Amino acid sequence: MYKITFLISFFLLSLHVFSQTTITGKITDKNTNESIEAAIVKDLKTNKNTLTNKNGEFSLSNTMPSDTIKISFIGYKPKYVVSNDTAKPMSISIERGGVNLKEVVITSHSNNLTTTKTLSLIDLDKRPVKSAQDLLRLVPGLFIAQHQGGGKAEQIFLRGFDADHGSDVSVSVDGLPVNMVSHAHGQGYADLHFLIPETVAGYDFGKGAYYASKGDLCTAGYVAYNTINQLDKSMVKLEGGQFNTGRLMGMFNLLNDKAKERGQSAYIAGETLYSDGGPFQLPEHFKRDNLFGKFNTNLGANNRLTITLSTLYSKWQSAGELPNRALKEGYISSRFGVLDSAQGGYTTRTNANIKLVSTLNKNTIWENQAFYSHYYFNLITNFTFHYYYPTAGDEFGQHENRDMAGYKSTITHKKEWGNTILTSSFSVGGKYDHTHPSWLAHTYNGSIINLLQLGKVREANANMYFEETLERGKWLFNAGARLDYFNFNYQDLAPASDSDANIFSGQKTTQNKEIICPKLNVQYTFNPQLQLYVKAGKGFHSNDARVVIANEGFQILPPAYGLDLGINWKPAPRLFINTALWYLYLKQEFTFGQDLSAQGAQGQAVQPGGRTVRKGIDLSVRYQINDWLFGDLNADLADPKCIDSAKGHNYLALAPTFTSTAGLFFNFKSGWNGGLSYRYLHDRAANTDYSLTALGYFVTDASVNYTKKNYQIGLSIQNLFSTVWNESQFEYTSQLKNEKAPVDEVSYTPGAPFFAKAMVTVFF
């Protein structure tokens, strides 16, 4: 009897052990049937969890039949299912719901070694996005400034950088690069205005140079947006406000429910916008038209094809920057006056983006992407007025016509051994920019007086990277390396009378350079409430091809070395905190292509900008006060300095030292929602010895909406208290008409006063 009892017990125990299995499945959106990446799948009995991959697929080992599995994702209602004991993958759909910080779990798994998925999904849900510019402002610590009319790319500030228009911040949409190298107006020029904000499904961001998948221009960080694959509903939105502002936007499903069942989706979105831009004596007459379309389809059981097309048209005029003394000395009658009425611009960009995601087996995904952009840009500006050319004035034009194409192939393989997971990624890619032509000209009322630069730019970048991510228990180790190779070519076509001809005379027209950037990231998760991480890596920013050729290839790819020490912490169920101490060293501060032109006009060669160092503290707090009230706070300190300059003369002009944003947002079940928020930028040095100050500002915005199933009405107010502030500021040596001598001081673009805009949206 004893032996029989023992055998039965042994049999039942063996059955228990061997019935443990690995369950697999796919998580999708209930309404759109779209795959959900980075959803948390957790076995409530073993507390083991995993994240879904790019296809929404998951694999969870050591799970027994009848175990309860919880699926959670920010912005969705949590769902509980019972695991099966078959080899058939589970198909689980989850339903959208409000953001609930109680459901946010700090996990030892990570898709990109950042916590930005949590922060970005919360902020996109709570903060109203009214424009493409607002999309950039969603990134904690990132500030922007517009200084040449609404159609020009914004100036970007992040982590102690005045990154001009993108020289140290990499921006992409669905993997398509937004930045343009060797741009006529500035290196890394990132004009995001072709992105219709309502088409954005989410975004990812990272600060520092720690990401093997990110290459050129990713020193301060990166921002990557992804657009909606399938619409839940079609919609039409009408907006109108002060300063003759109006906008019409529509998004329309093109396929029916039967197509959805076949795994197909297609929609088109468009917008048209007009605005005078503010109370300027010279109205901006800013006009923008956008058209966007996206198509998704399955090719067999294991391939997903996505095709995206978009086109932008934008035209505007601008009062430009105004010297501080212009109002005091009566040259203009108000802060919104104008000194040169010919300033303005015109730009177009057309994009094609194709992506194929293939599931080779349950552990291997292969992504292939090809893209193409055709771009046109024309800008008239005047910063110095009558300094270089007392009679005709210093107005100048910048122009380029560009074709940009690229390709990227990435294969990712995941392998599990018990409690150990190894994810391997390998990628190769390339990008080619052909600008034909690019020119800078001295102009008068927009007409060319003489050319200062004229040439063709060809720039090629070939790259590859690999990375290994090892997860074991509470530890995660990520190590990788990236190789980039650049070929710069500038063909000078300027006539002999060109003011800058001597810069390129006798120089080689081609330069080449490669750079290897290692990355190492480590994180330790104590529990679902606390995680520590260390990030270390080398990055770089390429120089403008014209500067590269003029300087005979010196400092083509100056490296950047960074380190982050950070914490993710949930001290209470509805409180999430991310903070980091960081350090960044640059071997050469960026040298702008525009500097080449300005100095070249005086017959001077351009010199490298010198070594710099930045260190600081980032803090992000998200707090759900109750079911209907939500608060957030971002505060970012930075100490940017030039190493090669004497103390007191080592400030980095316009580099931010302290920024903060915060807000309170409400959402009632009755349909009322909205919020109140501020953004604060501290005073900072406008030049290297801080003898000139770029004034900070504190601006408050508010919004209120009433949302129902089939419609939404709302009111948004920018600069609620009509604060007098300067949106952009620069140090210029300028000379106004009739002035006897030039003056070195700060010039500014005035920020908009109180601005109210109403909105009506219909869903169908």
Task: List phi, psi (to 5°) of 112.
Answer: -140, 20
Tokens of 569: 């912490």
Q: Is the pLDDT of residue 85 over 80?
A: no
Q: Is 709 left (phi over 0), alpha (psi -120 to 50) or beta?
A: alpha
Asked if residues 555 and 593 have their Cβ atoms less than 8 Å apart, the reply is: no
Alpha helices (runs of H) in 90-182, residue ranges in sequence order = 116-126, 132-137
pLDDT of residue 524: 95
Structural domain tally of the chain?
Answer: 2
Whether 658 is in a domain gets the answer yes
Q: Which residues are registered as beta bridge partners of 717?
A: 702, 756
Side chain identity at residue 383, one-letter code: F
Task: Using a pLDDT cut of 90, give the percent of the chain over it.
Answer: 71
**DSSP code of 76?**
B
Whether the per-residue pLDDT at 638 is higher than 80: the answer is yes
Q: What is the CATH number of the domain that holds 644?
A: 2.40.170.20
Domain limits for position 528: 116-763
pLDDT-wise least confident of 96-100, 117-121, 653-657: 117-121
Report the pLDDT value the prediction gives residue 110, as an integer from 0 to 100: 66
Q: Confidence band (pLDDT; 50, 70, 90) for 564?
A: very high
Element (H, E) at 624: strand 612-624
Domain end call among 97, 124, 140: 97
Give the mean model confidence (pLDDT) for residues 278-294: 95
Closest Cα partner for 208 from 566, 514, 523?
Answer: 566
Residue 187's contacts (CB-CB under 8 Å, 6 or more residues apart) are 164, 166, 167, 181, 541, 542, 543, 544, 590, 592, 593
Residue 69 belongs to domain with CATH number: 2.60.40.1120
Q: β-pairing, 90-94 with 21-29?
A: parallel
Average pLDDT over residues 156-183: 96
The CA distance from 372 to 370, in Å, is 7
- Report whether 384 contacts 435 (CB < 8 A): no
Digit-coded pLDDT (tens) for 590-630: 644 333 344 444 333 345 678 999 999 999 999 999 999 99
Q: Please check whether residue 4 lies inside any domain of the structure.
A: no
- Based on the domain organization, do 722 and 595 belong to the same domain? yes
What is the identity of the amino acid at 719? N
Do 200 and 56 lie in a common domain? Answer: no
pLDDT of 515 strictly over 90: yes
pLDDT tens per residue, range 192-230? 999 999 999 999 999 999 999 999 999 999 999 999 999
Q: Is residue 185 part of a domain?
A: yes
One domain, residues 35 and 145: no
Q: What pLDDT shows up at residue 84?
A: 75
Residue pLDDT, tens place only, 659-702: 999 999 999 999 999 999 999 999 999 999 999 999 999 999 99
Residue 83: DSSP 8-state: P
pLDDT of residue 605: 37
Q: How far apart are CA 633 and CA 123, in angstroms?
A: 11
- Bin 447: left if φ > 0, else alpha if -120 < ψ < 50, else beta: beta
The per-residue pLDDT for 610 is: 86
Q: Place 16 in a pLDDT band, splitting at 50, 70 and 90.
A: very low
* Alpha carbon distances (Å) from 650 to 59, 209, 645, 691: 53, 24, 5, 12
For residue 3, what are the CA distances in angstroms to 6, 16, 17, 302?
5, 20, 21, 52
Is the CB of residue 243 less than 8 Å from the CB of residue 274?
no
Best-predicted range by mean pLDDT among 21-30, 604-613, 732-741?
732-741
- Eight-class DSSP state of 120: H
Residue 248 sits in the same domain as residue 360:
yes
- Cβ-Cβ contacts under 8 Å for 411 (sequence gap 6 or more): 360, 364, 365, 366, 367, 425, 426, 427
Residues 577 and 694 grouped into a single domain: yes
User: Dmax over Cα atoms in the chain, in whole Å?
Assistant: 115
pLDDT at site 603: 35
**Cβ-Cβ contacts under 8 Å for 672 (sequence gap 6 or more):** 666, 704, 705, 706, 707
DSSP state of 600: H
Report the percentage of the chain scoring pLDDT > 70.
93
- Predicted confidence at residue 600, as pLDDT, reads 42
Pair 63, 191 in one domain: no
Q: Which two tokens stand for residue 181?
A: 């190298």
Are residues 93 and 129 part of one domain? no
Parallel, antiparallel or unpaired: strands 743-750 and 726-734: antiparallel
Q: Look at the alpha carbons of 80, 81, 87, 92 in this order and tell me if their dihedral is positive or negative.
A: negative
Q: Are residues 62 and 133 in the same domain?
A: no
What whole-number distance in Å separates Cα of residue 287 and Cα of residue 492? 34
pLDDT band at 358 (very low <50, low <70, confident <90, very high): very high
Coil, helix or strand at residue 369? strand
Compute the distance between CA of residue 407 and CA of residue 290 in angstroms, rounded to an integer.
25
* pLDDT value of position 33: 81
Determine contact, residues 716/703, Cβ cutoff 8 Å. yes
In a domain, 10, yes or no: no
Residue 3 has pLDDT above 90, yes or no: no
**At residue 511, does pLDDT exceed 50?**
yes
105 is a domain residue: no
pLDDT digits over 478-504, tens only?
999 999 999 999 999 988 776 665 678
Mean pLDDT of 7-12: 41
pLDDT at 89 over 80: yes
Whole-number pLDDT of residue 83: 83
Confidence of residue 178 (pLDDT cuts 50, 70, 90): very high
Confidence of residue 34 (pLDDT cuts 50, 70, 90): confident
Residue 50 lies in a domain: yes
The rounded radius of gyration (Å) of the Cα atoms in the chain is 27
The mean pLDDT of the chain is: 90
49 and 193 together in one domain: no
Asked, for residue 107, whether it belongs to a domain, the answer is no
pLDDT-derived band at 88, boundaries 50, 70, 90:
confident
The torsion angle over the Cα atoms of residues 591, 592, 597 and 600, rounded to 10 degrees, is: 0
Residues 145 and 89 both lie in one domain: no
- Per-residue pLDDT of 580-593, as tens digits, reads 999 999 999 864 43
Report pLDDT digits (tens) over 317-357: 999 999 999 999 999 999 999 999 999 999 999 999 999 99
Q: Where are the beta strands (DSSP E) in 181-302?
A: 189-190, 200-207, 221-227, 235-241, 245-253, 265-275, 286-298
Per-residue model confidence (pLDDT) at position 459: 98
Final residue in a domain of this structure, among 97, 130, 153: 97
Residue 531 lies in a domain: yes
Structure tokens at 320: 């430009």
Domain boundary among 97, 126, 154: 97
Q: Do 294 and 230 fall within a single domain?
A: yes
Q: CA–CA separation, 617 vs 114, rounded Å?
A: 16
CB-based contact 208:582 (threshold 8 Å): yes
Once rounded to an integer, what is the mean pLDDT over residues 451-472? 95
Convert 508-565 into a string of H (helix), E (strand) and C (coil): CCEEEEEEEEEEEEEEEEEECCEEEEEEEEEEECCCCHHHHHHCCCCCCCCEEEEEEE
Tokens matching residue 65: 């039949």
Instruction: Tell me how far apart the alpha carbons of residues 180 and 438 are, in angstroms, rounded to a whole number.
Output: 13
Answer yes or no: do 180 and 88 share one domain.
Answer: no
The tens digit of pLDDT for each residue in 239-279 reads: 999 999 999 999 999 998 888 888 899 999 999 999 998 89
For 118-132, 284-298, 338-352, 408-422, which range has the lowest pLDDT when averaged over its residues? 118-132
Q: Which of 598, 147, 148, 604 is nearest to 388 (CA)?
A: 598
